[in-house]
Structures are given as structure tokens and as C-alpha cells.
Amino acid sequence: MTIEDASMIPNPDVMLINRELSLLKFNERVLAMAENPSTPLLERLRYLCIVSSNLDEFFEIRISSLKEKIDQAPHQMQADGYTPLEAFACIQQSTHDLVDKQNELLLNQVLPALMEEGIGLLRVPQWTQEQRDWAYNTFMREVMPLLTPIGLDPAHPFPRVYNKSLNFIISLSGEDAFGRTGAIAIVQAPRALPRLLKMPEAIAGIPHGYVLLTALISCFVDELFPGMDVKGCYQWRVTRNSDLFVDEEEVTNLRQALQGELSQRNFGAAVRLEVDRSMPDALAAFLQKEFLLTENDTYRVLGPVNLSRLSRLCDVPDRPDLVFPPYHAPVPAPFDQLDSPKDLFHAIAKQDQLVHHPYQSFQPVLSFLRAAALDPHVVAIKQTIYRTGEDSELMAILMQAAKAGKEVTVIVELMARFDEQTNINWAARLEEAGAHVSYGVVGYKTHAKMALVLRREQGEIRRYGHLGTGNYHPRTARLYTDFGLMTANADICADMEQVFSQLTGLGTRRNLRVLLQSPFNLHDTMMAYIEREIEQAKAGKKARIMAKMNSLLEAKIIHALYEASQAGVRIDLIVRGACALRPGVPGLSENIQVRSIVGRFLEHSRVFYFYNDGAEDLYISSADWMDRNFFRRVELAVPVFDRRLKRRVINEAFRYALRDNQLAWKGLPNGSYQRVRSRRGAIFNLHEHLMQELGQ
């Protein structure tokens, strides 16, 4: 087997790409949006902030997990051809390169360009006397009273440092009032203080001038140490392991156990140290020793240690010319012309309805649930919640329905990473409103997206369902691409009710009629469908697989796709993020194409297509093709039966994406990506095309 640029692969015969390295490649593609001069200027800054936020989670979860593997079996060969130690070395180098590129882009291109537009950070060396006076007064009035300097000595040990908090290390000389000689002090920036302060326009000299909290503290830190000589003040922060552990065998109340675990999340083992690039080596080494980290774990930055704090600059209200043109998603037919809850249910009963966010409004989903809450004929609502946000109209609707006396059952996933506290709060409020709240099944995250409404019609109960690929989160529904299906199909809705019964009650596994479900039959069915395409290809028939997802990592699926490629099955994979499959390898995967779309919206929908001798089986799903989604989560894949809607999904999920030559990246055998560009000059931008097609 030959692989292009095999020098980048630890073992050319290894058929899987390292997950963490693939995630870093995804962040390189996001960073490319910030590099692109055709991207509006404030959006370029936003992409830089997104990369910073992504890297935070990368260290909190992925690097933390890898370090645990190193502790357990540092030299054990993994399926990607690396030992944990080898993988960690490659990942560190790639991450350092990415961070350096990010800092260079911010300081040398984006911030200077923003300053030319009257938006920017006013740096200490360039302050006028008037600006310095404003900064000093602001520091003394609003900042200094909240600061607690800690001089390190036997009576003042190194303070407990919160995950990703902003801190300063100060080197001192001199003698204080008690005769103590200065050496090192630590100042922690309180979370109550804004990291970015707006200077009045008349003083700033530009419409939108800001000063970093870091600049204020560094410039006037000597006020905290009167009579001492401040030799230097340097910003730093530490990133910690933020994964949660709940003993599934010992836990008796998941909510209580999780609440206790959350309080410790911000004090896990340190995995990354970020320091000001000007920090002396001796101080950096002091911090490294304190957190049991090495120089390779240390990232020296030129700008703020938490670059994502600059996202506030992206929301300047009076510069629409520096952001993407506004897009107002329309409410699609028939939801734009319904007068009553009865009309809505009648429209769904008449024909399945499909909405494609964010090109089409999320309002129909809210209207569906609001109609259920208001309609006197609706007797019950059942809903899964994975992420919904702190201020959720949807949750208010469910509480309204419960207070109105309807049977409201909500499966709240308490283990939704980084949304645990929000979901705990919603669970309590739902219970207070009279809803039945369940937390699913311990050990299996409930990631399926579904809402079921039971309505009494002509003396019988009729079911109406919504199933989607994305969360019930109105804000992200304006940013993430997702499909949602509303249906009264008897088989689909009966399956939904059975899944709800599994999640709230007890009982043996029963086969579903049409839905595919993890952890039971989704993986086996996907394998069987791939095998069926292989048999069709071997029989000389047309064979085709298309799949769209966020991540492709599950080894058995990948090896089945390799086998399908060798049998002559044409395979198109649209994978936004991490992809462990090597496409285009002669004799292995030459019939497989991998694309990644990165643009204005976050590609989030999961769609699976199998030609099946012309029958064209098509599913929308909540599940990526990953081990956790197949075996450790409750997920659903929903068949699209309506021919008109099936054609829409095929076009909007696949055909247009395969035509894109502006946002698309082509996956290469070595795990890297190259931009897709048209050789004929015809421009096709997936996101713009769908805004035009569905926004009319």
C-alpha cells in the first residue's frame, strides 16, 4: 500500500489517523477563515476566538485523556500507529505551531486592521497622558479594591488556582513593613472584573477603544506593593482536566453526585500553562514546578493568555460592514400561514414537514411545542433535552404546559459536557412546575433529539413527533446547520414512545419498527447497509454511500468502508471535524472522498445515505460515527420516507456540498487537507447557495 507523503505517517501500513492530530487539522481550517482577507474583519477576529475556545476544550478533555493514557501505558501501541508518548510529542509540536500562527495573525494582521477601522486595543506604550490618567483612575476605583496580592512565603503558600483564570506573577525586591524581603507574589484577577474595558471615545481617540484588564494590572501593579520595587509583572493561566467522573456502580442520585463533582471540576490536574512571552525563564520554571508541567506544556503568547475574551470586540453595534451580511431565516410554509394549534397538527398529519436550520427559522419547532402546550386536546408532551441554554423559551413552554395540567415528561441529560449546571438548574425548575423529570440511563448519555406530543382526536390518541440532528437550543439554531423532521407517521411515533419508555422505566429490549437506536442496533445496521452496498457492487450494480457527520472515528465502520471502496462502491464523506479514515489510498480507499466544510455556519447535521439498488435509504441522525455514539449513548437515526423531503435532504446535505469550491477542504491520505478550488472559474458557496434557495 502506498500513501502520499508517507513520511508524515508513523507507519505507512496504519489505516487510521490519530484523533487529536485530526482535531488540530480542523482547527487549522477554522484558522484559515481568519487568514482569508475576504472574510469580514470582525468575523476574522471571531474565528481566532473560536480556535482559542476550541483549544481550551481540546486540552481540558482530549489532552487530559491522553495524559492519563501516558500514566497507564506510555509505550502501548495504539490503532493509529502511535504510542501515547509518541502521539503526545506530535500533538504538542502541532499545537505550538498552531498557537504561534494564531498569535502572529492576531497581532500582525487582524488587530492593526481593526485599529484602522477605529476598533482596537489601546496598548500601554502608546497611551497619551490623558489615556494614562483614565486608566489609572479606573484601576484605583474599579480594579484595585478587588485585588488580593499574595506574597509567597511560609505563611502564604501558593494559592489555589481556578481553571483558566487570569493570574499574574510579580517579582519584587525590597523590604516591607514587617521586615520581610520581597521575592515573588501572585495576583489573581477576580472573575467579577471584565477582561476588556471600553475607554470613552473622547479619550481613546477612536470610536471603539478598549483596554485589557491585563494592561491595567500590569501597568499599576506597584500600587499593590507600596515601598517595594516591582521588577516585573507577567500574566499567566493554567488549564486543568475538566472531565467529570461519577461512579456509576455507587451513585444513587445522579443529580446530587454530579452537583458534588462539578464543584471540583475547576481544580483538576493541570495540563497546560500559558504565560506572557516576556516572562523570564526562572519564573516560568517556578510555575511549571508548581503545576507539575514541563516546558513543552508551556505556551508563550504575545497577546492575552485568553484570546477568546476578545470576542466582545466582534459585537460592535455600528459596523455592519465588518461582519457577515445579516441573514433573517424565514418561517417556511406551511408554518408561516397557520392560525391555530389545530391547523399546525393538521398540517403535520397531512404531510411530513422538514426544516433546515439556520437557513429556515427555528420558530416552527417552538410553534409545535407551543401549540401542544395551548391545545386543550393535547394530553401529554415528552421531550429530550441535551443542551438548551440558560435562557430558553422552549423550557418556559414545557413548564407552562406542566402548570396547565398536561403530562409533561422531560429526559434531561445531566452529563452534557460543560452544560451540566445549566441542565441541573432546568431539571429543578421543571420539577417545581409539575413535570416528570428523568435523567435517562446512568452510563449512557441521552443524546437523541426528540419531542413527542400525544393528542386526543375523535376519541383516540394520535401521536406527533419532532426528531432532529441538533439540540433544542434557539441560539445555536441560528449558527449550526441541522435538519428537523416533524411527522405523524404511526411507526416513527410508536418507536419514539417506546424509546421514552426505555429511558424512564425498566424492561427488556424490544425491536423498533423503523427507527435505529444506539446502543442497540444503529451500529449493526450501518454495518449491514455498507455490506449490502458491497454485495451490489460485486454483482455489477450501482453502489453508493454518502454520509455527513461531525466526526468519523469508529474503527469497524472505517474498515467496512475500506472494504466497500475495494469492492467498487463510490463513497462520499462530509466530515466537519476529526476523521480517522484515510481517503484516496490506492488499493484501499481510492473510491472514498472526504470533504470538510468550514464557513459562516457550523456544519452539525448527521445524514446517512445508501443507494440500495435505487431504493435510496436515507436517515437523519443525532449520532456521529464514533465509539461513544454507537455504544455509550442513546442516539436515534430517523428514516426520511417522503420522496420530496428525501430529495431535499440529498441535495442540501450532499449534492450542494460536493459542488462547493469556496468552503470545502479535501482530505488527503496523510491526514492533511487542501482547499477545493474550481478549475473552470465557476464559484459555488454552499452556505450562500442555501441562504438564497431556502431564504426566499
Sequence-distant (≥ 6) Cβ neighbours of residue 533 within 8 angstroms: 543, 544, 545, 564, 569, 610, 611, 612
CATH of 118-310, one of 3.30.530.20, 3.40.50.300, 3.30.1840.10, 3.40.50.460: 3.30.1840.10
Which one, of 648, 464, 621, lies nearest residue 547 by Cα?
621
Residue 628 labeled ligand binder: no
The CATH number of domain 335-512 is 3.30.870.10: yes
- Residue 511, annotated as binding a ligand: no
**Helical spans, DSSP H, in 195-280:** 201-204, 213-220, 254-265
Cell 478598549, located at residue: 210
What are the C-alpha distances in Å from 290 to residues 286, 491, 657? Answer: 6, 60, 49
pTM of the shown model: 0.93
Q: Does domain 17-114 have CATH number 3.30.230.10?
A: no
pLDDT score, position 253: 60
CB under 8 Å to 43, separation ≥6 — which residues?
33, 314, 322, 323, 324, 600
At the second CATH level, the architecture of 517-694 is: 2-Layer Sandwich (3.30)
pLDDT score recorded for residue 156: 77
Residue 681 has what pLDDT? 75
3-state SS, residue 578: coil
Q: Is 417 annotated as a binding residue?
A: yes
Look at residue 680 in the predicted model and tell me its pLDDT: 75
Q: Any binding-site annotation on 523?
A: no
pLDDT (0 to 100) of residue 441: 86
**Grouped pLDDT means (10 residues each) for the chain, 696 residues:** 38 80 97 96 97 95 94 92 94 96 96 96 94 97 94 83 95 78 88 93 96 96 92 96 63 57 76 96 96 96 90 91 95 91 94 98 96 96 92 93 95 82 89 92 92 96 97 93 98 97 85 96 98 98 98 97 98 98 96 98 98 98 98 97 98 98 96 90 94 92
Per the DSSP assignment, residues forming a β-bridge with 171 are 184, 232
Domain parsing of the chain, residue ranges: 17-114, 118-310, 335-512, 517-694
163 has binding-site annotation: no
Nearest Cα residue to 39 out of 314, 361, 312: 314
Residues with a known catalytic role: 447
Pairing type for strands 460-468 and 449-457 reads antiparallel
Confirm whether 17-114 and 335-512 share one CATH topology.
Answer: no
Give the separation between CA 115 and CA 2, rounded to whole angstroms.
50
- Partnered with residue 625 across adjacent β-strands are 552
H or E stretch including 526?
A: helix 522-538
Question: How many angstroms separate the Cα of 247 from the Cα of each of 45, 234, 253, 447, 519?
Answer: 41, 40, 11, 20, 20
478 annotated as ligand-binding = no
Cis upstream peptide for 334 (omega within 30°) = yes
Q: What is the DSSP string of 159-178?
A: PP--TT--EEEEEEESB-TT
What is the rounded CA–CA span in Å between residue 393 and residue 389? 10
